[in-house]
Amino acid sequence: MFWSATLLLTVVHLCLAKPLAPRWDNLAEKHSWADIPRGWEYLSPAPADMVFDLRVGLKQGKIEDLIENLMETSDPNHERYGKHLSQAEVDTLIAPHPESVNAVESWLDYHGIGAQHTNWSNDWVIVRVTVAQAERMLGAKYNVYHHSASSERVVRTLSYSLPRDLHSRVDVVAPTTYFATVRSMRATSFLQPNLKLTEGVSQATDISNGRVPASCGTKITLECLHTLYNTKGYVPTSTATNKIGVAGYLDEFANYADLEIFFQKFRKDAVGSNFTTIQVNGGGNDQNKPGVEANLDIQYTTGITFPTPNIYYSTGGSPPFKPDSQTPTNTNEPYLDWLNFIFNQTTIPQVISTSYGDDEQTVPRDYAIRVCNMFARLGSMGTTVFFSSGDFGVGGGDCQANDGTKQVRFQPSFPASCPFVTTVGGTVKVNPETAVDFSGGGFSNYFLQPPYQAKAVIPYLANLKLKNAGLFNIAGRAYPDLAAQGAGFQVVVNKTVVSVGGTSASAPAVAGVFTLLNDFRIANGKPSLGFINPLIYSRASGFNDIVSGSNPGCGSEGFTAVEGWDPVTGLGTPDFLKLKEML
């Protein structure tokens, strides 16, 4: 009995002194889809010996502190307002705990993956693996899937798992269950060929007296926007510091020659100026293939902000999948690719405009949260991130949930639904402006309503009563935040003026106005605005309230624009002079 007791105590002592080693074969599901995501079809198993880069996003050590800091530095009533963090300070906050790093290294070592096959970058590690290795590591089955609308082929899995000991240490692994690719993303713009075209700047004489002519109700030019949003006459002076960036995808190339023609027609004082193209992740710059979306974005951001430097980020990552290829393939994670690139730059524009998105439900929750937190990181460093709200009202198609229930619900858009970006809806007409019927808007199913917008959103929900009950998440982050004109933009494409609509037009218009506000602040010795949502929700008087129109979708009338905030036009359209006065 004595020896048995002694042995027992020894075993207990050893267990307390040295925890049991993790079991890297004890897997638990991280994410899965009930069905193949809509728009995709199975083609074949992925070749076992195909090599690709697997990204592992480690839990960020102090992400809650970073978000708390962001809320303080973005609140105009807080003593720390405008005190943005440096890249080094942000890196310190998001650095994973050393135990998480050790655990992931041990897991990789267990699977025979040494340092020569890994590339660490603070909270991410990129691992060069074969499909067979990834399947063993993640308890997954990778297949080739085809997206008929874009002819895109990708390698993805319908589910993946991680060892139980890693669930608290790893946020996301990609590519796994996120099926969207560069080509399958939605660009929120479209041609409007039935609108008659505006030649030259014939509106200038009508606008010279400060009135907005009726013609701006169907055909938008720079003069219309300058007058509508009170930017006319402001000349930027902080051009050595202030910049604006446009994130482009889909092999959309902004064209230099078309911009020159655009300036000749609509802003003669800018003739001879240009923008800078930065190619990201193999993105192209084919000047023989001008893109409608790219030209729309860059012509209106440069036109509004001239002579402020404009940067167009041409983000690649959409080569066709070749089953016989033994070389690493691009894994098509558009937001991650662009964000990881931008965080490695020595300087980042003070404003970024993006006009692409996906249905929120098609983005795995863990992926969406991680990307959204990366936008918070940008805001913490003083960058304002704008996204268009989408062009399908409260949702396009049959609006069925993809969780197996097929329940019909409104379909929020991501990243528009992220609480750390500023989302822009659309308007149309003038004297007064009204909501355009395709303006995306609603409530997130992933992200809770942030405190900064509660005072604006709660009254709207109270007045809504039972309308649309059960079709949306009343506790979700509400969007859009702002709005601007979204139809009839006159854009030069391949030397010809065409008419373009969509919230893709609205987002760069608002981004241009806030770039001018940054210029004013910098010229007066103040920092850039950074994350603006707490500011704009506390200073709603700086916007033109839109009180009519709606955004139907999902077989419903959608939401209606009313006095105050609404999920069609947000707080309204910007008034530069009022905002400048407040700042």
Per-residue 3-state assignment (H helix, E strand, C coil) for 407-453: CECCCCEECCCCCCCEEEEEEECCCCCEECCCCCCEEEEEEECCHHH
The whole-number pLDDT of residue 41 equals 94
Q: How far apart are CA 176 and CA 423, in angstroms?
A: 27
Residue with tokens 């027609």: 265
Q: Coil, helix or strand for 27?
A: strand
Q: Give the CA dihedral 179, 182, 188, 191, nearest 10 degrees.
A: -130
Q: How far apart (Å, rounded) are the C-alpha atoms in residues 126 and 117?
A: 8
The 3-state DSSP class for residue 313 equals: strand
The single-letter code of the amino acid at 271 is: V
User: Where are any strands of DSSP class E within 300-383?
Assistant: 310-315, 351-354, 356-359
C-alpha 503/C-alpha 441 separation (Å) is: 11
CA dist 504 and 519 (Å) reads 23
Q: Residues 202, 514, 385, CA angle at the centre, nearest 5°?
A: 120
pLDDT for the residue numbered 83: 97
Which tokens go with 354? 């993006």
Identify which of 482, 431, 491, 498 has the alpha carbon closest to the alpha carbon of residue 221.
491
Burial class of residue 268 (count of CB atoms within 10 Å of its CB; 0-12, 13-18, 19+): exposed
With the C-alpha atoms ordered 9, 14, 19, 25, is the resulting torsion angle positive or negative?
negative
Burial class (CB in 10 A: 0-12, 13-18, 19+), 349: buried
pLDDT for position 205? 37
pLDDT of residue 333: 66
Dist CA 30 CA 39 (whole Å): 23
What is the total residue count of the chain?
583
Q: Is 546 annotated as a binding residue?
A: yes
Contact 211/230 with Cβ under 8 angstroms?
Answer: no
* pLDDT reported for residue 38: 85
Token output for 110: 């267990």
What was the pLDDT predicted at 192?
67
- Which of 161, 162, 142, 163 is closest to 153 using CA atoms? 142
293 given a catalytic annotation: yes
In this prediction, the residues of the chain whose per-residue pLDDT falls under 70 are: 1-21, 181-210, 317-334
Q: What is the pLDDT of residue 4?
A: 45
Q: What pLDDT is attached to residue 194? A: 57
CA distance 551 to 144: 36
| Measured distance CA(159)–CA(27) in Å, rounded | 12
| Phi, then psi, of 56 in degrees rounded to 5 | -115, 115
The DSSP code for 152 is E
366 belongs to an annotated ligand binding site = no
Supply the pLDDT for residue 421: 98
Dist CA 182 CA 363 (whole Å): 13
Query: pTM for the whole thing?
Result: 0.90
- Cα of first residue to Cα of last residue in the chain, in angstroms, is 81
The annotation status of 545 as a binding-site residue, yes or no, is: yes
Q: What is the tens place of the pLDDT at every residue in 308-328?
A: 999 999 987 543 344 444 333
Tell me if 541 sits within 8 A of 559, measured CB to CB.
no
3-state helix vs strand vs coil in the chain, percent to 5: 30, 25, 45
Q: Which of 171, 251, 297, 437 is catalytic?
A: 297
Phi, psi angle pair for 92, to nearest 5°: -65, -40
The three-state secondary structure class of 544 is strand
Q: Report the C-alpha gap between 184 and 151 in whole angstroms.
A: 9
> What are the tokens at 561?
């624009």
**DSSP state letter for 548:** S
Distance of CA 481 to the CA centre of its chain: 14
Contact assessment for residue 131 and residue 46, using Cβ atoms and an 8 Å cutoff: yes
Nearest CA to 434 among 547, 358, 336, 350? 547
pLDDT score recorded for residue 322? 44
Q: What angle do CA 85, 86, 88 make, to 5 degrees?
A: 120
Tell me the torsion sign for CA atoms 494, 497, 502, 506.
positive
Which pLDDT score is estimated for 172? Answer: 96
DSSP bridge pairs for 313? 247, 278
The enclosing H or E element of 375 equals helix 365-380
Q: Cα-Cα-Cα-Cα dihedral of 67, 69, 71, 73, to 10°?
A: -140
What are residue 130's DSSP bridge partners? 51
pLDDT at res. 568: 98
The pLDDT tens digits for 131-152 are 999 999 999 999 999 888 877 7
Q: Is 564 annotated as a binding residue?
A: yes
Q: Yes or no: say if 348 and 342 are a contact pair by the CB < 8 Å rule.
A: yes
HSE, CB side, 13 Å, CA atoms: give it for residue 119. Answer: 7
Query: DSSP of 59-120, one letter per residue?
Result: PPTTHHHHHHHHHHHT-TTSTTTT-PPPHHHHHHHHPPPHHHHHHHHHHHHHTT--GGGEEE
Spot the catalytic one: 353, 389, 444, 504: 504
Question: Of these residues, 171, 251, 293, 360, which one is catalytic?
Answer: 293
CA neighbor of 553 nearest in space, from 390, 416, 360: 390
